[in-house]
Amino acid sequence: MAERVVRLPDVGEGIAEAELVEWHVKVGDIVREDAVLGAVMTDKATVEIPSPTDGRVIWLAGSVGDVLAIGSDFVRLEVDGKSAPAAEAVKSASSTASTLAKKPDVAASAPRMAREPPNMLKSQPSAAPPHHAGDRPLAAPAVRLRAREAGVDLRQIRGTGPAGRITHDDLDAHLARGRTGTTATPYPTQTAVTDIKIVGLRRKIAEKMSVASSRIPHITYVEEVDVTALEDLRAKLNSQKQPGRPKLTMLPFLMRAMVRAIAEQQHLNAHFDDEAGIVHQHAGVHIGIATQTPAGLVVPVVRHAEARDLWSCAAEVARLAEAARNGSATRDELTGSTITITSLGALGGLATTPIINHPEVAIIGVNRIAIRPHWDGAAFVPRQMMNLSSSFDHRVIDGFDAAQFVQRIKTQLETPAMIFIDG
């Protein structure tokens, strides 16, 4: 008997070490050639390390979680004296692992003659029965990879190789027959990958969101608002609509509530030039309305909302939304907002974490209205409730100021008569 050292192969270009994530054997186990000894993980992939020969495990490199150097001893095997030299074993293991780590598709598309060991070309032993549940089927790493990609449970395949090893031909035959056993499904496996280049407006959106997310430390504040009274008022106003007046949605009420809240906290209606370290506080309230269009998300701007009443706000929102959707909105209509509203309407969910429209310092998110039980001090009553999910630039807006701002908006929405009171 002789000792055979299996070293940790080069599992990827430039990789100096790998983390041991799984042992498939223990000391004393008898292993066959190509049986998986263990698995290691690099920063790119998990790679199974196969045995280069038959033998008995007499030593393992370490425990799961250990970091091993490339080229260090991985497993030591007791083998008979006729086994191939240790140097060949290392080369074989390295080649297999590198192929798995770098080019997983090569094994699946290589000619069958190149995949199978030479002795497989001479004779085919009788097929072994499928493995029992819990048993680990004997198969080369390349076969395991193909099976994983195809969603096939190797325990359902009869291996025709030595000791019941499952070959590529066995896997091909199984795929040709259709899957059986626990993996049976009426749905086909989809393997297509479509590459879509990010261009135009979508690229601009991606760039803007990346800047906002990377440069602004967001604080998001979520508050529940009872809009029952507001919805009743809105319905009455719409039912008595005068000629030439637009239909009122929730947005004009929110815009007017924001204008009144900003009058008391003007530092939230601002741009932050973080490179110069200057906050540009605006007197005019120019509210951006995040709008979904066929081309992507745009933010048309209702200028000087402080000088508009409900119906003027509603008319301008409707005009700008239509211009944004049909592509006729001008550059001036899509730039210059000082604070933004974002709403997904009926799809608004319970809460969101809106991203600030850089270089602004605040964004108000509207979630959907739903009837919920609300405690009035004596009993639970059904009320129309809506959440506001609002984000603030924590570099210039403290959490207290953010909460106070949202609470001022909440008070006005819950008592909508306040929206019409001057001063």
Q: Which of 66, 80, 105, 398 is catalytic?
A: 398
CB of 347 closer than 8 Å to CB of 330: no
Contacts of 173 (CB under 8 A, 6+ apart): none
Tokens standing for 396? 């210039």
Tokens standing for 81? 């004296």
Contacts of 410 (CB under 8 A, 6+ apart): 223, 225, 388
Before 359, cis peptide (omega within 30)? yes
Q: Which of 24, 267, 374, 394 is catalytic?
A: 394
The edge-to-edge listing of strands for the beta sheet with 362-375 is 218-226, 380-393, 362-375, 339-343, 287-289, 301-302
Q: Is 24 assigned a catalytic role?
A: no
Tokens standing for 313? 């706000």
- 186 sits in the region (left: phi over 0; alpha: psi -120 to 50; else beta) called alpha
d(CA 191, CA 173): 19
Task: Residue 403: name the closest of 376, 372, 290, 411 by CA.
Answer: 411
d(CA 389, CA 238): 27
Q: Is 174 assigned a catalytic role?
A: no
Annotated catalytic residues are 394, 398
